[in-house]
Structure 1
């Protein structure tokens, strides 16, 4: 029930998809489309003025020139204004959409992680979401212009010559037909490219996190070869997308050139008197012929813009498909609102009864046990049995499919989780250090307590003294500048400084040399001796033997 309730809660931050993604900016898109269409409709007026002036020159009437020039220049300024304003609106709308989607994704993934690697999520947020910008700024407006401008120019052409109108009518529709056929392949190629980008980011993050082991095992050349193969696969998929884009452009230019050429041939032979049909009454005049020649390329211009934006459509739809798949992924949302809260009232107690933790695609049964203030307990079991999941469930970071966890006399649920976590300090196996000075990270509750006693008790004070800026040092995200054991001792110092009563430590001595592991064990035992309760998930028999009780997970 809790898992179902939290899934409903997280749906409120689910980003809008499909056509709904543009719903908040629909008014802006319509207004920008109106401005773009208006800019396109100005050109026939400019073309008419230019043809009128040239016809006057041939007839010896130069008095038309100032008026034609004024109309042409005024139209140019108005077109420039409409295009600039439409572009500004479109880019603002695209930025708004991408910002909203990015914020919604980050909020949701922070609350309920999908079963994807962080590298794939980062690739989606950083590399793929920006591909929505050209989809919004180019493709959506191109579709509006294609729906209006060619029809207007076609009607104008038919008004003067049914031959010119017929040429445009035949050549124009062939372009969308071929674009649709090519676009199907473009969309599939773009999706393959998007998948490859996510996979490559995941591989890079995996190799970087394991770089030390790779070098120790002498597998650097193999890792480099794997990366080279994956990069080559991405290059091939990218080139496939580009080939399709060039093909669609070539098809468009071919039909456009044929259409304009046929109009030019008809107009030329009509003006030479070789063709006496094709107009509704008298043969075309010089001004009418020039006007038709000037507007014929613009009949194809919206199709050109649509073809140029067709790849943007394919890329945008690929991103939307990935977002839809991410929406449908099964998640494990944590309890609470992740907000600062007053510590839960009551003496420290913890008990589990029939608990089954709900992970995406998996259920983990946890043993029944209880714990009071000052007691310690070791969760033991084989790798993958669910020890880390058990710690996460105790902190309310994993929902329950069944059973109940009782903390301080209260049921651990959405209402009590934040207050319960205010009494817990977590020592993860892989510490994370945000971009802030070490003294601020050691004191998240802003208690402004002297950190040195806690650092000494965790046997990490000398490490801090060796850092280039001491407590003002900003460690890298994964603790650059300190070893894994030193990072965990810093976590223990942080737990001591926080004064929180229950310490949850996930494999605190894993992958450490005996001396460093002994420091970690001494620090944890010091916490227990000072009244803290300690729960460790561990494979270390020495650490487990020092706990008051040992509970096996996965029996």
Structure 2
């Protein structure tokens, strides 16, 4: 529609030229009334088409960008937390939040400008060529020079935009990471060196941004140069032709004043779509760079078994009085091989059977594969071969979402958000009531330790809580999870003193009553309280 609106300038230019010709002949205002009315009517129609096209393009662009953001967020959510190739949080947030906005100008400005370039100049060249082939030839000869030089500049512009957006993402990731560890940096006296590194990244970003702007200004200068030359040559030809100095180029007789004015009015319009394309050329470079960055987020290997939720499982929400009869899910691993992330060799695990309601400790030294085995049970890593069975159901992409509703997971480094204790326990689950939160805190022995009740605010990363309190807060999350019949806990007592570890062990025993518990540990204090200890020593495959 925007291209159609631009083409309406051709009849408008014809009406202006005809009106001026009538005035030159000495006719009164009555002779140009129809021309004026026609010009106004076409102007209103052109403005309406432009406004409608702009509004629709913007709406479609916002829908497309929102869809890409949803896909990128879903792709990140389906990535395993053990995947070392996952982008940093700051970098991913920069791509989804900031860089994705570069797609809007690309879709609303560059794409329509490209269509106008493909349609409007050829039609204007034909309209001019009807009166004079010489003027049409001048326009046609000047037009190809613009896209050729724009393409040459565009290659460099895209590379510069990609480098700038990459540097922006790295800087955001660095800044977020350093802010999270600000307390540690202060304790180690590393704040000045960190500030210098951030300053270096900011300087690199400034240099990259200025480089992109220089290329944008260069592309505009190239366009204006060739467009001005084309218009000037056309005006020179028409002027000398009307003066009788140039007698060639017209079909038969010489051009009339009306035809000359018509050609002069169309010459700037011939280059206008190219001007729009030049103005949107930087938008194209930035948009394509942003598109590639989002595509990388979307196209990464999920690594997580069954990224989507497939609905409730029949194993979940088992009544408490049936736990003793063995209706909690059992876990079985058969001939499982895992391809580790990075360049590490694959590992093979011995067969394991964990009975329903049993409390099992995965025992082994650091690096023996305990965390990886626990992650297999949760579907956080995919088995290269073999099977993992939960409650008689094989863990696959189509069942993982439902089976996870029966699980509660706690990693080695649980994250605490800057929010209230209650919010950190419920994690925004609408079916978790304040009473359930308090009950979970009491179950893990944290209620007495939390001053000012569950509404107490804690800082990002657990600021204001001790290491043991952070662990028990994470255990409360698992305790409050509805239908969590399987507890998968990774190193809950690591780096804790004896008294704190005993409190964590007591809290873990209390919340695991009637549930299947699998805990990865190399702490003999915790292993003694388990029903069974499984020695983990994964075999490294060649």
Query: Secondary structure of the equivalent of 1:381?
Result: coil
Alignment of 1:442-461 (within 5 A): 445-446=431-432, 450-461=436-447
Query: Secondary structure of the equivalent of 2:301?
Result: coil
Equivalent in the alignment of 1:430: 414
CA offsets 1:47-89 (integer angstroms, 9 cap, x no match): 1211222222222112333222212211211110010111112
1:388 aligns with 2:371: yes
Query: Secondary structure of the equivalent of 2:386?
Result: strand
1:206 aligns with 2:177: yes
**Relative to 1, partners in 2 of residues 1:415 and 1:328: Cα closer, same or farther, differing over 3 Å?**
closer
Report if the CA contact (8 A) 2:444-2:472 is conserved.
yes
Equivalent in the alignment of 1:507: 491
CA offsets 1:380-433 (integer angstroms, 9 cap, x no match): 3325x5433322211223221122333334443446544543443222322365
Equivalent in the alignment of 1:354: 335
Equivalent in the alignment of 1:31: none
Equivalent in the alignment of 1:519: 503
* Stretches of structure 2 lacking an aligned partner (at least 5 in a row): 319-326
Query: Secondary structure of the equivalent of 2:448?
Result: helix
Equivalent in the alignment of 2:86: 116
Distance 2:54 2:15 in 1: 27
1:342 aligns with 2:314: yes
Report if the CA contact (8 A) 1:407-1:420 is conserved.
yes
CA offsets 1:214-257 (integer angstroms, 9 cap, x no match): 22211111111111111222222222222111111100000111
Equivalent in the alignment of 1:36: 2
**Relative to 1, partners in 2 of residues 1:549 and 1:139: Cα closer, same or farther, differing over 3 Å?**
same
Q: 1:128 aligns with which of 87, 96, 99?
A: 99
Report if the CA contact (8 A) 2:100-2:294 is conserved.
no
Report if the CA contact (8 A) 1:347-1:408 is conserved.
yes
Query: Secondary structure of the equivalent of 1:331?
Result: coil
Equivalent in the alignment of 1:17: none
* Stretches of structure 1 lacking an aligned partner (at least 5 in a row): 1-34
Distance 2:123 2:200 in 1: 52
**Relative to 1, partners in 2 of residues 1:525 and 1:314: Cα closer, same or farther, differing over 3 Å?**
same
Query: Secondary structure of the equivalent of 1:508?
Result: coil
Distance 2:393 2:235 in 1: 85
Report if the CA contact (8 A) 1:378-1:551 is conserved.
yes
Report if the CA contact (8 A) 2:492-2:521 is conserved.
yes
Give the stretch that moved more between structures: 72-81 or 208-217. Answer: 208-217
Q: 1:106 aligns with which of 73, 76, 81?
A: 73
Q: Normalized against structure 1, the TM-score is what?
A: 0.83
1:157 aligns with 2:128: yes
Higher helix share: 1
Report if the CA contact (8 A) 1:332-1:360 is conserved.
no
Report if the CA contact (8 A) 1:504-1:535 is conserved.
yes
Distance 1:235 1:286 in 2: 54
Q: CA deviation at 1:300?
A: 0.5
Distance 2:399 2:2 in 1: 55
**Relative to 1, partners in 2 of residues 1:55 and 1:481: Cα closer, same or farther, differing over 3 Å?**
farther
Q: CA deviation at 1:43?
A: 0.9
Equivalent in the alignment of 1:217: 188
Distance 1:551 1:445 in 2: 38
Q: 2:162 aligns with which of 154, 176, 191?
A: 191
Distance 2:247 2:38 in 1: 32
Give the stretch that moved more between structures: 178-187 or 495-504. Answer: 495-504
Distance 1:211 1:78 in 2: 60
Distance 2:436 2:138 in 1: 85
Report if the CA contact (8 A) 1:442-1:451 is conserved.
no
Query: Secondary structure of the equivalent of 2:354?
Result: strand
Alignment of 1:225-304 (within 5 A): 225-304=196-275
Equivalent in the alignment of 1:365: 348
Alignment of 1:409-428 (within 5 A): 409-414=392-397, 416-428=399-411
Q: CA deviation at 1:129?
A: 2.3
Equivalent in the alignment of 2:388: 405
Distance 1:61 1:483 in 2: 94
- Number of aligned residue pairs: give it: 516
Distance 1:159 1:519 in 2: 93
Distance 2:34 2:307 in 1: 72
**Relative to 1, partners in 2 of residues 1:332 and 1:272: Cα closer, same or farther, differing over 3 Å?**
same
